[in-house]
Amino acid sequence: MSATFGNNLKVTIFGESHSAGIGVVIDGLPAGLKIDEKKIAEAMKRRAPNRSVASTKRQEADIPEIVSGYFNGRATGTPLTALIRNTDTRSQDYERTVELLRPGHADYTGFVKYHGFNDYRGGGHFSGRLTAPIVFAGSIARQLLEQHHIHVSARIKQIADVMDPGPYSAAEMEETERKDFPVVDMDIGRKMQDKIREAHSKADSVGGVIECAISGLPAGLGDPFFDSVESTLAHIMFSIPAVKGLEFGDGFKIAGMRGSEANDTPILKNGTVSFASNHSGGIGGGITNGMPVLFRVAVRPTASIAQEQKTVNIRTMEEASLRIHGRHDACIVPRAVEAVKCAASLAAADLWLEVNHD
């Protein structure tokens, strides 16, 4: 099993949802990198549950304890390690149904992979709880990028069947950080929230789509084929639990276009090459072309719902029924926005460090 991502900026996550703690080791941060702990705290707060009726009632402080690689406000250049304690676990919720495979979860695959020795409480290492260390590491990577005028922003594009087509500039998307619900158009956002509340009232859940932009990346980053920009971003995006789809630029819509419509025409702008459009999402041949890298991820409905469902008892090998207990979000998309931004920041920083060694 590998829990490590990256070539130049290596990130290793550890822990389980109900273990003593979770955390991350970051290797490759430039020595002397100034780190703003306030920005880390703000990112952790954006990932945390909110106070809405449709959000999980599990309340973790999520205060990272940095135990190495950080001194006098700067990265030392050695591996930076942070520990996030789990303090609000209710493991008894999972003891009641330990033998019953929860639909939509990794209970069966985890049982097979680890021969029944995996920690099943709260999903163990498969849990969305593990996005907390990703957000911690990504918030630091984001600070590295911003010091070089590279910015990562994201927004909710869709919840259930309510969609905000956009398009929006990266600056407009960045403004969503100042909102409790990260959408650009708050009128559409209220309709999205109504959908979440409706699903919650029916003991159900909904999913959605998150759009992310990385602006300021210079042309020439990435490689063709296996280490392409798309491959790098896909690798980490699909590491976020519940992400089930990914598209770049115009994505699947491009399949219905003609070449004359889909091609991004090169132009000269202020004496440098730019493009008249961005249908390919800022990437050509797996390499950045200087336009914003634009992509969207599809997030599945929260797997844990309070409705009774059919399943299998893994001990008796009999079909059974299950009603999931515990504290769960009716929609994880609002919290996943920060995870997507920070994961994108890790990928972008890894690409940038390939040719920029501070």
Confidence of residue 1 (pLDDT cuts 50, 70, 90): low
If one counts the domains in the chain, the total is 1
**Span 208-235, mean pLDDT?**
97
Whether 54 shows a pLDDT value over 90: the answer reads no
The answer to whether 151 is annotated as binding is: no
The answer to whether 125 is annotated as binding is: yes
Mean pLDDT value across the chain: 92
Residue 267 class from Cβ within 10 Å (0-12 exposed, 13-18 middle, 19+ buried)? exposed
Contact 21, 125 (CB under 8 A): no
Give the pLDDT score at 117. 85
Mean pLDDT is lowest, of 107-121, 145-159, 199-213, for 107-121
CATH number at residue 207: 3.60.150.10
Whether 146 shows a pLDDT value over 60: the answer reads yes
Express each pLDDT in 244-302 by its tens digit: 999 999 999 999 999 999 999 999 999 999 999 999 999 999 999 999 999 999 999 99
Residue-wise DSSP of 42-81: HHHHHHS--SSTTS---------EEEESEETTEE-SSPEE
The answer to whether 136 is annotated as binding is: no
**Span 338-356, mean pLDDT?**
96
CA distance 345 to 350: 8
Q: Determine the structural domain holding residue 246 and report its residue range.
A: 4-355
Nearest residue to 32 via CA among 83, 82, 78, 81: 78
Whether 150 shows a pLDDT value over 70: the answer reads yes
The answer to whether 126 is annotated as binding is: yes
User: What single letter denotes the amino acid at residue 341?
Assistant: K
